[in-house]
Amino acid sequence: MFDSSTITLIFPWIILGFGIMATMLASSVRIETRLPAKLLTIFTLVLVMITSAKLFNLDTTITINGFIEVSHLSCMTLFFISAISLIFVVGSGGYLEKEKLHISDFYNLVLLMVLGASVLVSAKDLFVMFIALEVMSLPAYALVGFRRNDSRSNEAALKYFILGGALGAVYLLGASFIFGASGSTQLSQIFEWSKIHNGDVLLFLVGHILVLFAFLFKAAAAPFHFWKPDVYEGSPVAVTGLMATVITTAAFVVLVRLFHMVDFQSQSFVPYLESLKQLIRVVAVLSLVVGSTIMILQKNLKRLLAYSAINHTGYILLGLLGTMSKPEQIYSVWFYLAGYAVISCGLFLLLSQSETRNDQGLELVDLTGLMKRNPLVTALASIFFLSMAGMPFTVGFFTKYTVFMSSIASGEVVFVIIAAICTVIGAYGYLRPVALMVMRDPDPTAAEFNGTKSNQALIIMLAVLCLVLGVFPQALIQLTKGMELIP
Partner 1 sequence: MENSQQLTALLIWPMLGSILAWFIPKASQRIYSLFISIVQFALVIYVAYPVITQTGQGLEQTLPWLSDLGIQLSLKLDSTSVWFVLLSGFVSFVVLGMKGQWYRRNTRLFSSMAFFLIFSINAAFLSSNLIVFYLSYEAVFIPMILMVGIWGSSTKANSVFRFFLMSFFGSILMLVSIFYLSYLYFLKTGIFSANLNDLLKLSNENSPAMLWCFAGFFLAFAIKVPLFPFHGWLKEVYVNAPAPATIWMSAILSKLGVYGFIRFVGPLFPEAILSAQGILLALAAFSVIYAAFLAIQAKDPKALLSYSSISHLGFVMLGVFSMGASAKTSAIVLSVSHGLTSLVLFYLYDLIVKRKEDVSLEAYSGLAKKFPILFVCLFIGVLASVSLPGTFNFVGEFLVLIHAYPVSALCTILAGIGVIFGAVYMLKFYQKLGFGVSSDAQVAEVAEDISGFDLIVIVLILALIIYFGFQPSLFLGGMTNV
Residues binding partner 1 (CB under 8 A): 371, 386, 391-393, 397-398, 401-402, 404-405, 408-409, 413, 416-417, 420-421, 423-424, 427-428, 431, 435, 438-440, 473-474, 477
Residue 405 beta carbon to partner 1: minimum distance, rounded to whole angstroms? 6
Q: Which residues lie closer than 8 Å to 239 by C-beta, 6 or more apart?
A: 140, 143, 144, 146
Neighbours of 149 (CB within 10 A): 7
Residue 420 beta carbon to partner 1: minimum distance, rounded to whole angstroms? 4
Q: How far is CA 94 from the centre of its chain?
A: 23
In angstroms, what CA-CA distances link 108 with 77, 87, 161, 386, 462?
A: 21, 16, 19, 34, 25
Output 21 or 421, the one with its CB closest to partner 1. Answer: 421
Output 88 or 415, the one with its CB closest to partner 1. Answer: 415
Contact 169, 140 (CB under 8 A): no
Residue 318 beta carbon to partner 1: minimum distance, rounded to whole angstroms? 12
Output 10 or 296, the one with its CB closest to partner 1. Answer: 296
Residue 276 beta carbon to partner 1: minimum distance, rounded to whole angstroms? 23
Residue 377 beta carbon to partner 1: minimum distance, rounded to whole angstroms? 15
Output 181 or 386, the one with its CB closest to partner 1. Answer: 386
Question: Residue 69 forms beta bridges with which residues?
Answer: 63
Residue 475 beta carbon to partner 1: minimum distance, rounded to whole angstroms? 11
Contact 126, 189 (CB under 8 A): no
How many residues in the chain?
487
How many Å apart are CA 335 and CA 476, to the nearest integer?
7
How many Å apart are CA 379 and CA 381, to the nearest integer?
6
Residue 400 beta carbon to partner 1: minimum distance, rounded to whole angstroms? 9
Contact 358, 350 (CB under 8 A): no
Residue 431 beta carbon to partner 1: minimum distance, rounded to whole angstroms? 6
Residue 481 beta carbon to partner 1: minimum distance, rounded to whole angstroms? 8
What is the number of helices (H) and of strands (E) in the chain?
22, 4
In angstroms, what CA-CA distances link 372 with 51, 299, 358, 432, 446?
A: 46, 22, 22, 17, 12
Output 52 or 394, the one with its CB closest to partner 1. Answer: 394
Output 172 or 477, the one with its CB closest to partner 1. Answer: 477
Angle (CA) 60 61 67, round 5° = 155
Q: What is residue 123's three-state secondary structure?
A: strand
DSSP secondary structure letter of residue 358: S
Output 362 or 386, the one with its CB closest to partner 1. Answer: 386
Contact 78, 122 (CB under 8 A): yes
Output 131 or 405, the one with its CB closest to partner 1. Answer: 405
Positive or negative, the CA dihedral 195, 197, 199, 200 is negative
Output 180 or 375, the one with its CB closest to partner 1. Answer: 375
How many Å apart are CA 150 and CA 239, to the nearest integer?
15
Residue 398 beta carbon to partner 1: minimum distance, rounded to whole angstroms? 8
Residue 485 beta carbon to partner 1: minimum distance, rounded to whole angstroms? 19
Output 172 or 468, the one with its CB closest to partner 1. Answer: 468
Question: Residue 235 forms beta bridges with which residues?
Answer: none
Question: Residue 186 forms beta bridges with which residues?
Answer: 125
Q: Which helix (H) or strand (E) holds 5?
A: helix 4-9
Q: How far is CA 265 from the centre of its chain?
A: 30
Output 207 or 433, the one with its CB closest to partner 1. Answer: 433
Q: Which helix (H) or strand (E) holds 438?
A: helix 413-439
